[in-house]
Structure 1
């Protein structure tokens, strides 16, 4: 059994999500061969050197799971793209590139966070290109921790305001981009998060049946996609 989750947006201000996640690690995840976390694991990440006691606690819980035998894979999201090697060493997880090809249920599956598929959101895509540019990342990593924290707070505030004002289709994936990247990687299954719209979508890629599975975010419910011999199954569960 393999589990995939995304968009927990862990932060100290939402202890119920943290408690649910720690229970998830101790119950379902401990029985899994592997756990994939496809981005926005934390609400914000300003650098491994800025880790809080809360974030160290999460790292310790992941490390305990990995030591029990569950392989843990982590992908950057748009909120935590500055997670680095130091956190991964402490948490016992492997950092994946976005996109990433994994072998799941006997087939090649494309894993992504999902924000790069939202190409109709031109303002966000410009910001994403700037933030992920190696030069920009170098500059960000070399800012003082206080400046990074201030910048992250400003970006979060402006992002929430802008998202409220955008049409729903603008902040969802672009169908043509989905088809394009699935054709490029020659896959029939794509799994991603980011949009907070859990569902399984049927589509056609080069005349063949394909699916796009959108992982759910952890807000009023928790969500996990389970992959086993019978296929792909996503279901919500109570956070309490």
Structure 2
């Protein structure tokens, strides 16, 4: 009998511009994820999210695939990222997902673990954190979601351009997590294990908490060049990577 496992992913940045990532994700949902006890998506599943009313066919395709997995009995959980923070209950229900709080502690086979997207850990990126304070407000989100769809589509395109420009201008250290912030968050939630995405730097980091206890930070990988997921089993935790499919023109 196969050992039980829970899977965690983040930062797929699905968009019509990258059908190879979409195909890899659909294959993952129809294959590897079917045997999991649960699947956690820790943000930035989509490149940009302008509202649950967006008629983009890709969104329906992904929702159908997610709901199909959920229907097999695999629980799906979604934590908002900085690209899809406007994803609401309407789409979550369509996809068969349960929305998580920005900081959620779960029990992974006896190990209390903090799950989050990870952007709030990058405290040295002052410009981003200032913007984050705005979009994290319910009134601001309500206001944006009640503008016409065409206007939100315009804002989405603009946000992608600004994001690309910011990445070119900012140093690598600013866009990574602030080392001092990690133990603070772990201590605040009384855990020794943290899993997050956002930085696109998959790795396992061991650190020491202020009270002397060891702690571990697992960083999920993005799907730009390869698919990536963390597999948590009772016997151990492991990051997995696989090449994206090569698409051929029909």
TM-score bracket for the superposition, by shorter chain length: over 0.9
1:155 to 156, 159, 168: 159
SS of match in other structure, 2:218? strand
Task: State the distance in 2 between where 1:29 and 1:167 align.
Answer: 36
**Residue in structure 2 matched with residue 211 of structure 1 by the alignment:** 216
Task: State the distance in 2 between where 1:158 and 1:93 align.
Answer: 30
Q: Which whole-Å deviations, capped at 9, do the CAs of 1:28-75 have from their partners, x for residues lacking one? A: 100101000000000011000114111001000000000011100011
**Residue in structure 1 matched with residue 64 of structure 2 by the alignment:** 60
Identify which range, 150-159 or 31-40, moves more after superposition: 150-159
**Residue in structure 2 matched with residue 200 of structure 1 by the alignment:** 204
Q: CA deviation at 1:12?
A: 1.1
Q: CA deviation at 1:105?
A: 2.8
Task: State the distance in 1 between where 2:205 and 2:109 align.
Answer: 18
Task: State the distance in 2 between where 1:172 and 1:108 align.
Answer: 24
Show structure 2 runs of 5+ residues with no match: 246-250
Task: State the distance in 1 between where 2:166 and 2:244 align.
Answer: 29
SS of match in other structure, 1:43? coil
1:24 to 13, 24, 28: 28
Is 1:232 the counterpart of 2:233? The answer is no
Task: State the distance in 2 between where 1:19 and 1:95 align.
Answer: 24
Identify which range, 137-146 or 181-190, moves more after superposition: 137-146
- Runs of at least 4 residues of structure 1 off by over 3 A? none
**Residue in structure 2 matched with residue 132 of structure 1 by the alignment:** 136
Count of equivalent residues: 240
TM-score normalized by structure 2?
0.94
Q: CA deviation at 1:178?
A: 1.0
The structure in which a higher percent of residues are helix is 1
Task: State the distance in 1 between where 2:41 and 2:187 align.
Answer: 24
SS of match in other structure, 2:157? helix
